[in-house]
Amino acid sequence: MTASMNQPGRGIRFPLFGFPTRVDWSFFFIALLFSLRGGSSGSGIDLEYALVWMGILLPSILIHELGHAFAARRLGARPSIVVHGMGGLTSYAPPQPPTRGQSIGVSFAGPAAGFVFGAIILAIALTQDIDLSLSTVSFGEPFDRALALGVWINLAWGGLNLLPILPLDGGHILQELLPGDRVARQRLAAIVSLVVASTAAVLFWVNGWVFAALLIGYFGLQSIAVLNATGRSGNAETLRSQIQDAVQRLQQGDPTALPELERLVHRTADPQLQAHLKTIVVEVYAGSGNRAEARRVLNEAPGNVHPAVYALVSAYEGDPTALDQVREIFARQPAPESARCLMLAYGAYNRGHEVPAIMASSAGGHDPLILAEAEHSARGRGLSGVADQLAAMRKGT
């Protein structure tokens, strides 16, 4: 299996082909548990069987993880390997996000390495005419046991590892093959994983493969956790995508985008984003002559907008004192928001040419961000001369 980051822990540490490697104590504990069931003595711990089991299982896991690690190294990552009681994990973080094809390559490299190792063991076993049945695994001579175990671990379990079940390699490969964005693919893969894992766990249990049934069932529970997590993050990511789409359509002149943005104001939980979206909706409504809608959104929609936005709407409504209000707010609270409202309000009264002088006499006239916002607003209203003056002021700061 692969992951984007590694977790510290205890165990035996050593470098392997330049990869930091750790064998967790849980690996040896699980190996001893297997020796309780597989020993030829029928009861207690069969030390000989335990040594055979660990002697084949450990290199098999390491070869599998080395397949992942070498593939990840080709992407510029510095992988590390952990062997634990449930298998192995290769952690890596490439300098650039991998493509789907690269992720599939890293995921498949592990099973591929295991298949090659298993094929070598199978070839040796066939030349020695060794029975590779499960009875040999439990009751055969040590050499026969080792070869039979090697075949079952690398070929049989390696094949199961390609089932479309998260977090197995097959589940990660499926996730990269599915359509949609990252969260959508995670959810679809988790759904498929849950169905396949549930079915496989029942089949294993019915046929007496208790450990395999419990392990696959555990993976199914992990898929439920993935569904819960992606449900929460997926809602947020979908909302961000909808906001970006609505803003883009608004810039392109789509009349349906503004009501949609207003609905998104109510759905947004982030206070800053909510205020930003509300300001956009209010300014577009007011600037397009729909002052009643601008006032309604300003008063009823959630979100705390800058005080200058209220004065701007009043200016669009024809309040003769509104320009003074915007000017006073800008003098007290010089910021990009109040600079934009100042420019829009004076521009609405064909007095935009006064804004550079107003800004030059205030503290905000020395802030390049504030001047840039006013310049952008001036160009948006077609006041290129005013925008050029503001640009010159910005360059002089």
Per-residue pLDDT tens over the stretch 347-390? 888 999 999 999 988 887 788 888 888 888 888 888 899 989 98
| pLDDT above 60 (res 125) | yes
CA distances from 17 to 64, 70, 113, 135, 263 (A): 14, 9, 15, 36, 56
For 314-333, write each residue's pLDDT tens digit. 999 988 799 999 999 999 88
Do residues 118 and 153 touch, judged by C-beta distance below 8 A?
yes
Q: Exposure pattern of 192-221 as b/e (b: 16+ CB <10 Å)?
A: bbbebbeebbeebeeeebeebbebbbebbe
Give the predicted TM-score (pTM) of the model: 0.56
Distance CA 265, CA 163 (A): 43
Q: What is the DSSP letter of 284?
A: H
Which residues have CB under 8 Å from 388's CB, separation 6+? Answer: none
Phi, psi dihedrals of residue 14, rounded to the nearest 5°: -165, 155
Angle between helices 368-380 and 384-395 (to 10 degrees): 170
Q: What is the pLDDT of residue 109?
A: 94
Closest CA to 81 of 98, 97, 61, 96: 61
Distance CA 387, CA 123 (A): 79
Residue 248: count of CB within 10 angstroms of its CB:
11
Instruction: Return the H-helix or E-strand segment holding 298.
Output: helix 291-300
Q: How confident is the model over 181-201, as a mean pLDDT? A: 86
| pLDDT above 90 (res 183) | no
Q: How confident is the model over 158-176, as a mean pLDDT? A: 90
Distance CA 317, CA 395 (A): 35
For 9-35, write each residue's pLDDT tens digit. 577 888 999 899 999 888 888 777 765
| pLDDT above 60 (res 149) | yes
Provide the mean pLDDT of the chain: 83
Distance CA 129, CA 139 (A): 16
